[in-house]
C-alpha cells in the first residue's frame, strides 16, 4: 500500500488554502510523524515523544510538517472537513 491510495485532501492553514511549496500542487495526503529525540530513544521511551502532522503533496511527494492545530484537512470530493 502506498501513501497515495488514500483520498486526496485540500489543506488550509488558519482558513487560507495551502499550496505545495515545491510544485504549487493543491492536493495532499497525510500521516503522523514522530518527533523522536535522542534522550527518549536512549531510555527506550520513543513512544512518548510528540508527533506532528505530515501533509504530503500528491503531485511531487514533498512532505510538509506542521505542529499545532492551524492545519485543517478537507475531503477533495465532498468538501467536508476530515
User: Is residue 81 in some structural domain?
Assistant: no
Which residues partner with 21 through β-bridges? none
Q: What is the DSSP string of 19-59?
A: --TTT----EEEEEEE---HHHHHTT-GGGS-EEEEEEETT
- pTM comes to 0.76
Residues of the chain with pLDDT under 50: 1, 3
Q: Would 39 be classed as within a structural domain?
A: yes
How confident is the model at residue 42, as a pLDDT? 62
What's the confidence (pLDDT) of residue 38? 67
The residue range of the domain holding 26 is 3-74
Query: So what's the pLDDT on residue 1?
Result: 38
Domain assignment of residue 82, yes or no: no
Residue 28 is part of a domain; what is its CATH number? Answer: 2.20.25
Q: How many domains does the chain have?
A: 1
Amino acid at each position: 500500500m502506498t501513501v497515495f491510495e488514500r483520498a486526496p485532501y485540500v489543506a488550509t492553514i488558519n482558513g487560507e488554502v495551502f499550496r505545495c511549496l515545491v510544485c504549487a500542487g493543491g492536493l495532499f495526503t497525510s500521516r503522523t510523524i514522530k518527533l523522536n529525540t535522542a534522550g527518549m530513544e536512549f531510555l527506550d521511551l520513543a513512544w512518548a515523544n510528540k508527533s506532528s502532522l505530515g501533509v504530503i503533496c500528491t503531485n511531487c511527494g514533498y512532505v510538509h510538517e506542521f505542529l499545532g492545530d492551524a492545519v485543517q484537512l478537507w475531503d477533495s470530493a465532498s468538501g467536508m472537513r476530515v
